[in-house]
Amino acid sequence: MMKFIHTADWHIGKKIHGFQLLKEQEEVYRQLVEVAVKEKVDAIVIAGDLYDRAVPPAEAVLLLNKMLMELNIVQKIPLLVVSGNHDSSTRLATGGPWYEFLNFHLVTKIEDSLKPIVLGNTQFFLLPYFEPIDARLYFGDSSLTTHELAAKRVVEEMKKSFDPNYHQVLVAHLFVAGSLRTDSETEVTVGGLDQVSASVFKDFDYVALGHLHNPNASRHERIQYSGTLLKFSVSEANQAKGFKLIELTDEGNLKNTFYPVESTKSLRVLTGFFDDLTARDYYETQKKDDYLFIQLKDTQIIPDAMNRLREIYPNVLGMERLDKTGLLSKMGQLNKEKIQQSSPRALFEKYYQEVTGDSLSKQQTDLLTTIFAQLKIEEEDQTQ
């Protein structure tokens, strides 16, 4: 029996709309550690994108080091890790040769993916994110022009080390054709040039993937994404978040258990009319400090809406109008032609009235006059 946790895409150091997530990242990590310890797993697989950026901020470096140290040195759990497209393979590789001695296997280069790490009944092949050019250079084969061809060649090479007495698990960071994307997985390639057919992986007992953030992104039972531990965008708001516990019996039977995790602050979408969302009766039923994306049904202009929402919900990430055409039609009481004919100052006065219900004071009008005169001079200078 081989029992391991499959996780990926930690993106330590990621910010969403300026909000630092380190605290939440540590929270969900704790839930993973608990399961790992309780289930006495044989290994933890992290399938790439440990960091969010090639050069992560120092606090992210500190946090990830702490996490990996706790898992590997304190809890003594073998780690099987590859670099993802968000990681700098060179920077992530720091310490790698020393990690080996404590059963922390970190692979950042194709050449190191070809020889398996043997744990229990399983040969693990650790394939980092790579580009076709890397495969062309490594194999000296200029025909490897796509991710598909490159992955095929790599797997072919791996198969030479397949031992029939063991199961084979592939850890990789790539896009399997037919999987479901989310908009937060950056670097989407036009025309699907980055996709690899599932059939390439048919000889593996399990393929533990990273790259896509949805744990249900893949349709193939034995080719799975773990998904992220946190919601990283509005489009992920309805996705389950967690990791997978994989059990592979000696007979080759696979059991896949999804463990959901939850951070204190979740990422949610609130939809409604401004007056409803800001009514005490409503917001007292809400976890107000969640990361919220607000969808307003209103078609009226709402003065200072964002700041007023943030007085109630401090972690509003963003706001949008559901009925954009309705809103525009209200704003369009001045028709287009009229707008073009109006002076900037007249337009501003109109806007100010709509938003505040007040007229401009004498002082405000004077200030506006000065500002627009200054802007006009600058504009003329530039077009000279």
State the residues that interact with its own copies by CB under 8 A: 55, 58-59, 61-62, 65, 69, 72-73, 88, 90-91, 93-99, 101-102, 104, 377, 381, 384
Q: Which of these, 181, 255, 171, 177, lies nearest to 217 by C-alpha position?
A: 181
The least distance separating its own copies from the CB of residue 108, rounded to whole angstroms, comes to 11
Closest separation between CB of residue 17 and its own copies, Å? Answer: 25
Please say whether the beta carbons of 104 and 112 come within 8 A.
no
Our CB check for its own copies shows the closer of 275 and 379 to be: 379
Q: How far is the CB of 276 from its own copies (least distance, A)?
A: 46
- Nearest distance in Å: CB 181, its own copies: 29
> How near is the Cβ of 67 to its own copies at its closest, in Å?
12
User: Is 65 or 189 the residue whose CB approaches its own copies more closely?
Assistant: 65
- 77 contacts: CB under 8 Å, gap ≥ 6: 36, 41, 43, 44, 71
Q: Of 68 and 158, which has the nearer Cβ to its own copies? A: 68
Residues 321-354 as b/e (b if ≥16 CB within 10 A, e otherwise) read beeeeebeeeeeebeeeeeeeeeeeeebbbebee
DSSP string, 114-176: SSPEEETTEEEEEE----HHHHHHHHT-TT--SHHHHHHHHHHHHHTT--TTSEEEEEEESEE
Closer to its own copies by Cβ: residue 68 or 305: 68
Q: Beta 316-321 vs 43-47: how paired, if at all?
A: unpaired
Smaller CB separation from its own copies, 20 or 342: 20
Please tell me the distance from the alpha carbon of residue 275 to that of residue 271, in angstroms, as a whole number. 12
Residues 57, 13 contacting (CB under 8 angstroms): yes
> Are the C-beta atoms of residues 229 and 32 closer than 8 Å to each other?
yes
Nearer to its own copies, 67 or 176 (CB): 67
Is beta strand 79-82 parallel, antiparallel or unpaired with respect to 104-107? parallel
Q: Any bridge partners for residue 170, and if so which?
A: 125, 207
CB neighbours (10 Å) of residue 244? 21
Shortest Cβ 52–its own copies spacing (Å): 16
Least distance in angstroms from the C-beta of 60 to its own copies = 10
Closest CB to its own copies among 68 and 245? 68
